Amino acid sequence: MAYSYAYPHPAVTVDVVVFTADEGALEVLLIKRGEWPHTGKWALPGGFVEIDESLKRAAWRELREETSVQAGYLEQLGAFGHPDRDPRERVITVAYIALVPFDRLRFEAGSDAADAKLFAIDELPELAFDHRKILRRAKERLRDKLDIADIVRQLMPDRFTLSELQRTHEAISNTESDKRNFRKKLKTLEIVEATGENKEGGAHRPARLYRAVKKT
């Protein structure tokens, strides 16, 4: 069956940037493309929007089909529409961001994806399409929108050390902070509390585990 129009129409896709923090390191979930174009390259999970589904619904569905991740909250990053960004035809993509704490992130490749894997944000492989540009914008969005309290509530796992939190915060804000000042600031904000437990393993002396303070 063919669908015909009086003037040329673009195709529209969605792509999802899933961020997580693994022991403090900011990481992004990528899939290995199983189909042409860019076969074998790493890319953001995503795909074509169905004609009767909303953009956000499409993002949620494609993410689940290709990685089995069911995103809680998806924020739209924006549309990317350079006329030559896809060799197949004119494809405009709408990108979304999902934040998934590492201890709740379960993924496996499905649908057109040959593989799915986490990559450190500063050690990315070559990416398909304009996905490197999308990722750069996604990181800028995190920097502009997430303060330490948001990071604690939306990105950190249930239990984390203060060094891990500082590392994630530094990766997102693109700044370095002095350890003592960072902890002083955390104290003033009253957003984390000690659990009484220590982190197991590691070469150093055990680090205390913290959790987010429940909002009352």
19-27, 52-60, 182-190, 207-215 -> range binding a copy of itself (CB under 8 A): 52-60
5-13, 25-33, 66-74, 182-190 -> range binding a copy of itself (CB under 8 A): 5-13
Q: Which residue has the tokens 């490749």?
A: 109
Kindly tell me which of 51 and 203 has the beta carbon lying closer to a copy of itself: 51
Beta bridge partners of 30: 117
Q: How many residues bind a copy of itself (CB under 8 A)?
A: 28
Q: Shortest Cβ distance from residue 129 to a copy of itself (Å)? A: 15
Are 21 and 27 in contact, with CB atoms under 8 Å apart?
yes
Binding mask 6-45 for a copy of itself (x = CB under 8 A): xxxxxxx---------------------------------
Quote the DSSP letter at residue 112: T
- Options 37, 40, 78, 206; binder of a copy of itself; rule CB under 8 A: 78
Closest CA to 76 of 24, 119, 134, 129: 134
Q: Shortest Cβ distance from residue 4 to a copy of itself (Å)? A: 4
- Options 36, 83, 175, 200; binder of a copy of itself; rule CB under 8 A: 83
Q: Which residues contact 67 (CB under 8 A, 6 or more apart)?
A: 18, 29, 31, 45, 107, 108, 109, 110, 113, 116
Rounded to whole angstroms, the Cα distance separating 144 from 148 reads: 12
